Structure formats: structure tokens, C-alpha cells
A and B are shown apart, each in its own frame.
Chain A
Amino acid sequence: MLKMTDVCKVFRTELVETHALNHVSLQVDEGEFITITGPSGCGKTTFLNIAGLLETMTSGQYLLDGVDVSQLNDFKRAKLRNQKIGFIFQSFNLMPDLNLFDNIDVPLRYRGMPAAERRERIDKALESVGLFSRKKHLPAQLSGGQQQRVAIARALVGEPRFLLADEPTGNLDSNTARGVMELLQEINTAGTTIIMVTHDQELANQSPRNIHILDGRISNGTPAPQQETDKEAAPAVA
């Protein structure tokens, strides 16, 4: 369902050319929980941004549910992002002037969903992260862990097939981080594919499949169980 072949990303300035991703090939199947690790500046976030259609690639092919995204314009990429991808960020990225309800409402607004359906989904999402009673609160009135739960609710409210998480526990203490990780595992168990970038090797070890990126290349990859017998799949090509 997510297949990258020979994907390169080059950042160019007048003086410097940086190869953030260098011929990366990867396939992620439905229901997987993948962690991406690697040192700072290795290309983890660039990979996630390309996977999340926030960044374009310099070359290569990227198929998302069979759709070649390199051919899509901004409108179609945004629509695909809205319908199929949820994001969780290290710094939560909640909008400070909007209460929890309105924060979670944002992706549904862009989907053009009727108000009643939006309300129902938002209430359900808030209940699922245990914050329904605080839906009129502003993000600043919550703890870091609670804010990340709201961000997760916002990412899931549109029922995306992918959840992309960029160091979702990076700003949290270890106890809270464990709680968030457990929540992500529950979400994955319910069927959502998760790709999570992390610096934390302990968290990476909890996922069935870990991809390590070094200098823009996949240096090792734990193949997904179902891919071991799939000859066409390319779990990791550096």
C-alpha cells in the first residue's frame, strides 16, 4: 500500500548540494508498525515528509495505495493527505487559539463533512483518548501528554490508513511516553498502519519492524513477516 522505489531527495543551495535521501526503496504493507531510526540529519524526517506528501521527491517513484503521487497537483495531494494520512508531531502542533474540539475539527473541515457527522466523530475521538470532558479547554490548559493525546485524536478523527509520527514521545517524560506508545500500539492493533520516527532505540525495539537510515540510505531493515516470502517486495534497498 505504500511503495517507494529509488526515491532521492536533494536539497540544493548555490553552494551546497545535500542528498537527504539517496535511492531509498521501501514497501510498507497494511497494518504494519514500522519505526524509523537513525542519527540526527540522516534523513528520517525527510523520509516521513515525503511519505506524508508534505515534501516532493527529486527522483524515484512513490505509490500510495497504487497512486503515483509524483503526478498529483497540490489540490490532489492535499486531498489524499486529508483522507489517508494522519500526522503526529514531536511538539504536538495544536493550534493555541482553538479549543480541543476545534483543533480536532480541522481535518474534517477540509474534508467538507457535515456538522453533525463532524461533531459525532470528534466526540468519539476525544472519548478514545480520555479527554472528552475537556473538549472546551485550550491546549495550554493541558499537560504535554494530554496535548499529544489530542494530537493523536486529531490525526485519527478522519480514520486515515496511515499514521505518520515524528518523534511523538520526544517532548514527554518516560511515563507519559510509555502511555502514548501504548496508545499507538492499540491504534495499530485496530488496523491503522503506523510509521514512527524515533531516536529512542527502546521504543524502536517494541515495533515489529525497524528501518535504520544512515546518510540518506536505508542501512538495515527488519523485513516485515509477510515480506519474507514475497519476492517482489523490496523491504530495504540501499
Chain B
Amino acid sequence: MLLYYLRLSALSYKRNPILSTLMVLAVAIGVGAYMVIYTLNYTMGGNPIPHKSSQLFHVQLDTGDPNLENDPPEQLTYLDATALIAASPAFRQTASSKFVAVVEPSNPELLPMITNNRGVFGDFFPMFDVPFLYGRGWDRDADDNLEQVVVLSRDMNERLYGGRDSVGENLIMDGLVYQVIGVLDDWTPVPKFYDVNNGPFDASEDIYTPWNHIVDKEFSRQGNTNCWKAIDGSGLQAFLNSECVWIQYWVELRDRNEEQAYMDFLNSYSAEQKNLGRFERPLNNGLFDVEEWMIEQEVLPDETRILSALAAMLLAVCLLNTIGLLLSKFLGKSGEIGVRQALGAHKGSLFIQHVIEAGFIGLIGGILGLGVAGLGLEGVKYLLGQDLLVTDWIQLNLPVAITTIVLAITATIIAGLYPIWRACNINPAIHLKTQ
């Protein structure tokens, strides 16, 4: 009967093409607009590493101003980051900071270039499941021994070496020679969860190098630096000894026990620092897994929430229109419904027939809605392209397309429930006489 009902739906569409097309347009516009905003929210607010996000924790130590009751700082001081790394009680851990450097390509045809880089510990790569195209990352010995090694992004490897396996090549960065030991595959987590403080939708870095080099080689740090207390003195050492925060710190903890043990470690560390005259505020350290950290940091801009509400309202208005149009269409079929009842249709079968007819309209509306959503996303790319460095992720992918179709069908069926109920409860006797 499903195919029979689908055929009846197509015939019904042909019988009232204008009314049916109006419904399809209402559904397409409502669903299309909603899916544009949904796609943005889905991508911007999605979990960038779902398979292990509950094992990755951002570390927060409350080193803030004792005279204020604000939240603990999002980043760590150099003193604390190096202390935590030295203790290293977690399964894996990394400090992480941005810096820029000038790279001199070995290819004489290329000009020197300023690159966006990140200093990390060797654990960074296995912690975040960073994919490698060639080579590998480095180990803890390389961190401790300040080995001059780098890992390139795929894009940087393309630019410097034409995409070939560059492992073993020497790279000159700020006049220092580094050896390429690995090249990443495409890796652009959205949001860039490991550093939401410096642009959650920025592109990934070009070059990764052991974090200790940032201080040792005095690279030019980039990113947010916040100091609640004046730096005592001048120069790099004074800055490193200050209460300025500029380092993101992540740990990998495999289960609840490890999480509790690490929290105990942080609290114990805070107690030690209090004895030394630091950490003047009440104990308020934090461990946030990836999703908690995205929420805590309000990665999703407020504007998208407002847009979500507006898009939902537009969808509701379109569906209200659809209810009216379906009511008109189905009540216009009262004669046919009466005849079908006379010929043996019970209300249940008529209900199913019209649910499928509503779903058919929703299906066509959904397909058209995909076009509306595609156009809308292109518009969003155009508008956001100037503010966000990464817009490639704003696209109509398969899950979004399926969601659009399912939403359109479901929404239209829900909108059709009242008209269908009314139509199935007509008195057939009246319509058989007057048809």
C-alpha cells in the first residue's frame, strides 16, 4: 500500500499544483533557513574529538587577583606550567603556546616567510590523535633535551617541499636549523578546542616544535597574555617569574580514578603555592573535558543563539502556513475521502494515506530546502569569510543533507496531523450526496 499511497500523493500534487507548490516552498524556505543555522551551530558547537573528548582535560589553576571575584584565568603561568610538566602525573600532558617565526625555505625560488607556529610537548600528537602523513612526532627526551626538531602541517610541507616526504630535511627558522621529523595529514579541528583563547575558528598552525624552545630560543610569542599583577622587573626572566598567564595546558586522564588523582595533585600543588605566598584566592582549580571547556568558554557566539531562535521562529511560521494550506487541501478532498470510506476505507487507512501525502510534500520541500540551505551557506561563507580564517568547514555535508530531508518530512507530517485528523473525521454521508 505504501507505493499506492505514494502514487496517490503524486496525483494529488498534480491535481492542486499551485496549492501544493506553495506548501513545498513554505517547507523549503523554513527548513532551508533553519538548516543554515543548524549547520553553523553543528559545526561551531560540535565535538571536535568525540571519540576521546571525555578523556582530555583542560587544566585551570586559580592564580587570579585576590581582590576580585572573577573566574579563574583560562591559561597558566610559566611557573605553574613548568611545575606541572616537571611532575607529569597524568597519563599524557602538554603545555601549548603560539609563536611566530621567519622560515627560510631551502628552495632558492621561495622567499622567506612568516609562519604561525605552536610549541607543544611530544604528548600533544598522541593525545589529540593528530594524523601523520609522513614521519612522527617527538618523545619526552626530545622535549627535555631541547632537540631542534619540527613537525610540519600538510599545507606548509606543500609550500616548502612540494608535498613530498620531507622527513630528514633541514629547516631554517629564525636563523636556527631544525630537522623535519614529521608531516601532518589534514588536521583542522573545529572548533580548535586545544586553544579556544586565541581564536576557536582559526586555522591550525604551520609548524610544531618542542615548547621549551619558545623560552630557550626566545621566539616571538603570540596569543592572549593576561597579568593581574605588575611584572616585578624587566626582561624575559622577570616575565617568566610573573603571574602573567599565557600557556594552555591539557592532560589526558583515562578514567575517573585518574581524574580524581589529578585533581588531588592540582589541589596539593595549590596548597604548596599558598604556603609560598601565591594562590591567594580560595581553592578553585578546574578540570574541564573538551565539551565542558567549549561550553565554559562560550565558543558558540551569542549571535548564533539569536539566529537559531529566529530560524526556529521562521520554521514555525512556515509550518503554520503549511498547516493552513494542508487544511485547505485535505478538506477539499472531503468528497474523495467520503467515497473511499464508502468503498471500505477505515479511518486508520485514510490517516496513513494522508500522512504519506504530507510526507511526500515534506520530501519535495526538503529536497528544495537543500538548495535553499546550500545557497544560504554560501552566503554565510561570504559574510564570515572576512572574520573567520577557516570557512571550508561551512558546507552542506551528507549528515546535514539527511537531517534536512528528515526534518522537512517530520515537520510537514507534524504540521499535517491536525488537517489529517479533521479530514479523516468528516461525515462521508454529507459529501457523497453533495460531491
Contacts and interface: CB of A to CB of B under 8 A. Distances in A.
Interface of A: 45-46, 49, 52, 54-55, 74-75, 77-79, 81-83, 87, 89-91, 93, 95-98, 106-107, 109-111, 154, 158, 166
B346 A98 contact: no
A45 B339 CA distance: 15
A185 B342 CA distance: 22
A45 B428 CA distance: 12
6 contacts: A54-B342, A55-B429, A93-B342, A93-B435, A166-B432, A166-B433
Contacts of A79: 344, 346
A169 to B, nearest CB: 16
Given A54-B429, A97-B15, A82 B343 contact: yes
Contacts of A107: 343-344
Nearest to B424: A74
B343 A106 contact: yes
B339 A95 contact: yes
Contacts of B233: none
A109 B1 contact: yes
A161 B96 CA distance: 86
A4 B128 CA distance: 81
B335 interface: yes
The number of chain B residues touching the other chain, given as a range, is 20 to 34
A93 B429 CA distance: 12
Of residues B12, B14, B344, B432, which shows the largest number of chain A Cβ atoms within 10 Å of its Cβ? Answer: B344
Contacts of B432: 49, 54, 87, 89, 93, 166
Given A45-B433, A54-B432, A166-B433, A93 B335 contact: yes
Contacts of A106: 339-340, 343
A83 B346 CA distance: 13
Contacts of B1: 109
B349 A110 contact: yes
A237 B269 CA distance: 102
A52 B432 CA distance: 12
Nearest 8 interchain pairs by C-beta: A82-B344, A78-B346, A110-B344, A49-B429, A107-B343, A97-B11, A87-B342, A93-B339
A91 B435 contact: yes
Interface in B305-339: 335-336, 338-339
Given A83-B344, A93-B435, 6 more contacts: A54-B429, A74-B346, A81-B341, A93-B335, A106-B339, A110-B343
B356 to A, nearest CB: 14
Interface in B7-29: 11-12, 14-15
B348 interface: yes
Nearest to B431: A93
Nearest to A50: B429
Interface in B168-196: none
Interface in B34-91: none
A81 B339 CA distance: 12
Contact of A45 (B347, B427, B429): B429
B422 to A, nearest CB: 16
B254 to A, nearest CB: 58
